[in-house]
Structure 1
Amino acid sequence: MSTTAFLEISRLTVAFPRSPAPVLRDIDLRIDRGEFVSVIGHSGCGKSTLLNVVAGLLKPSQGGAVLEGKEVSGPGPDRAVVFQNHSLLPWLTCAENIRLAVDQTLSRQMSRAERAGWVAHNLALVRMTQAADKRPHEISGGMKQRIGIARALAMKPKVLLMDEPFGALDALTRAHLQDQVMQIHAALGMTALMITHDVDEAVLLSDRIVMMTNGPNARIGEVLPVRLPRPRDRLALAEQPDFVHARKAVLEFLHARHANPALAAA
């Protein structure tokens, strides 16, 4: 890790008015430029709350997040979010959904023709060129999520934030999109923070896995470096010792926290 983190979450505590205890307490996390970091933990441990603070969608009770030396105080085009629900506008085509984000964030940097070319480029990046003129109801769930990812990438964000982006998809579609995200991450060198419940997904995609204790008063329990060379091939990794070790370490952490209430508050 470098002396100055690209994205730094410091002393973050989030409490809600009607809750007797904070959802998150004293979260400290540093993420370098280009890192892919996953956050995993049981339901209610504040994973999505953490991501929402970084996205600027939720104001922390204490502490906060700093991106490239600037405090996060609200939503901004430097952070793009991909939710589990694709959130596409149903009356727009796939290309128009992406174009709307591009027009709102890059209109001062690109001409109209350049923006049209950029939309086409991002459609091609997620292999959805053939669906440019289709509306969301005309394509599958996996295809919708591809468009959601393309829309986020088209904003040229400094950080891509993903909240269980593949959680609603079938296993085969999920695997295809995971592979595609790995390829995009390698090609663009983007910084990514992903929330997930899926242990294999976290190990496959991440440089580090942040494991949360149970909520409320959830904290970072452990941070596991994933020492697997890139590019990664899911089939080749299945029996790779480092993959198996990382997977086992995450499962052991999650099961220990779930089985022992005392550890949940540790």
Structure 2
Amino acid sequence: MSKPILSLENIYVDFERDGVISQVLDNVSLSINKGEFLSIIGHSGCGKSTLLNVVAGLVPVTLGAALLENREITGPGPERAVVFQNHSLLPWMTVYENVRLAVAKLYGAKENLSQLHDRTMRNLELVKMTHAKDKRPGEISGGMKQRVGIARALSMEPKVLLLDEPFGALDALTRGHLQDTVMELHDRIKATVLMITHDVDEAVLLADRVVMMTNGPKARIGDIVEVKSPRPRDRRELLKDAHFQDCRRRIVQFLEQHDHAVSVAEPA
């Protein structure tokens, strides 16, 4: 692996509401290498999305620092593109127009119309959506909408791609197809990816490392599992891979232990 592109150094995040302070993240430190795919998993309320939003520049840290290529993250920027569970496409625009809007915002001042068109089409081609370029979001499936959302994010040529449970609202079959798409994209363009998920199999299938968060409040990194299964990965072959199954077992065991801790802490 190459040197870290993203570093989280002793991150603390507190939220205040009506004078009450809620401590969400407690001394989280993590380094992510260029080209690495990192999954973050944990129970609801463990600060997964908060951590991703810190990297996106949407949530400020209370203490510590988030650094991208040794520069502190102080707000959103095109070098960090986010794909949420909700695709957030503009319903009155076509698939092509939704992606081109992002392209034009970043490159409109330095590229001509032909170049902007080519850039838009290249990113639609990456996610196999050129055939639906003239359709509007209401005319395509949920999985296709997420493909367009990924194309729009990739069109920014980000240094880090942030995925916040992007397949959580999809049926199992569509989810599997999109997981394969993301694996293929990662292998092809060597993107640095940080993904939030609740799905153990998804986390292990896609990631180089899986970060497991302890329960909130004051969540921390509880453990990290390194997934050494070679790429490209075939989900059917991985079912016979002892290392893959061991990674999965360790994560399930961690989640079960912390699920028990939550249950014990709750009143009867």
**TM bin (shorter chain):** over 0.9
Give, in whole Å, the separation in 2 of the partners of 1:106 and 1:220: 38
**Equivalent residue runs for 1:186-265 within 5 Å:** 186-261=187-262
Comparing 16-25 and 43-52, the one that deviates more: 16-25
**Alpha carbons of 1:261 and 1:145: their partners in 2 closer, same or farther (altered >3 Å)?**
closer
CA gap 1:26/1:192 in 2 versus in 1, 3 angstroms: same
Which of the pair is proportionally richer in strand? 2
* Letter aligned with residue 45 of structure 2: G
2: CA distance between counterparts of 1:202 and 1:154? 25
1:140 aligned onto 2:141: yes
Within 5 A, what are the aligned runs for 1:19-168? Answer: 19-168=20-169
SS in 2 for 1:23: strand
What are the ranges of 5 or more consecutive residues in structure 2 without an aligned counterpart?
A: none
For structure 1, list consecutive stretches of 5 or more residues without a partner in the other structure.
Answer: none
Over residues 118-158 of structure 1, what are the superposed CA-to-partner deviations in whole Å (9 max), with x where a residue is unaligned?
A: 11111111111111010000000000000000000011000
Following superposition, the deviation at residue 262 of structure 1 comes to 10
- Length, aligned pairs only: 263
For 1:93 and 1:50, locate their aligned partners in 2 and report how far apart those are by CA, in whole Å: 32
Please provide the CA RMSD for this pair.
1.5
TM-score under structure 1 length normalisation: 0.96
Matched, 1:7 2:39: no
How far is the alpha carbon of 1:261 from its aligned partner? 4.7
**Hey, what's the Cα distance between the residues in 1 that align with 2:256 and 2:6?**
29
Q: Which deviations, in whole Å up to 9, do the C-alpha atoms of 1:172-225 show, x marking residues without a partner? A: 000000001000001000000000000000000000000000000000000110
Q: Deviations over 1:5-25 (max 9, x none)?
A: 210011111111135441111
Deviations 1:90-122 (A, max 9, x none): 011001000011111122443221110011111
- Give per-residue Cα distances to partners, 1:239-259, cap 9 Å, x unaligned: 210110000000000101111
- % same residue: 58
Question: Structure 1's 217 and 203: CA in aligned 2 closer, same or farther, altered over 3 A?
Answer: same
**Structure 2: how far apart are the matches of 1:221 and 1:128?**
39
Tell whether the 8 Å contact from 2:10 to 2:28 is kept in structure 1 after alignment. Answer: yes
